[in-house]
Structure 1
Amino acid sequence: MFKWLLLAIILLPAIEIGVLIWIGGYIGPLWVIILIGCTGIFGLFLAKKEGMDTIARAKQAMQMGYSPHEEIIDGICILIGGLFLLTPGFVTDTIGFILLLPPTRKPLKVIIRDMLNKIMQNGRFTLYRR
């Protein structure tokens, strides 16, 4: 896991710079800056809306006596997506929007849920009760 994270930390900025230069060659540097700013602002509003909707669904699930496990995974995706949108660049903005929009987030939730189940079954993650 650490190797993949290190690889992403090294490769992602290089890819971002390449994409920014490439797109800047087509539309110009001023438009690149405007687009990055607009996607960041729009993304933050979307993250806030999706986050508030997720909190409302979690409250509703708990009031009905259900565990809000789907909403917790949604919240994790929204948080990570919002962080990606704060990072300037088109690649990170794309990843952020994929994590924020419910139709594109749904397949990722299945992957995250499977990873969490695998971690818990291997004993690398333990829940302690007070």
Structure 2
Amino acid sequence: MTLVPEEHPELWDFLNARRRGEVLSGTVAGIERFGVFVALDDGPGHPLFPGVGFVSAAELSWERFASFEDVVRVGQRVSCEFLQFDTYNGEARLSLKAMRPDPLRAFAAHVACGRERSPS
């Protein structure tokens, strides 16, 4: 079901005001097989989902995990980076992993270009 702005103006106004890279805080409101819903502190409720924020599996962690519960739990407080306004679902797409350093960048900072890594 697609949400239309006219039926949920408070939700649309809130999501339209967000900017990429903005940090939003909230509580993990639901974990599904396809991702994690976050009830945002300053956000309105969502008419269909447990929270107006959504974190996909790819945006949960830099590390591998077997289940979403290995990374977050319902009721847990989180801070996430706003990625985009998903106008189809009427939700804020968020990234939890963006709040942590990228391990590939850390590795690259310690290895000279064109040289093998020296044993530690």
Provide TM-score, normalisation by structure 1.
Answer: 0.26
TM-score, normalisation: structure 2: 0.27
* Greater relative contact order, per chain length (Cα 8 Å cut-off, separation 6+): 2
The structure where strand makes up a greater share of residues is 2
Higher helix residue share:
1
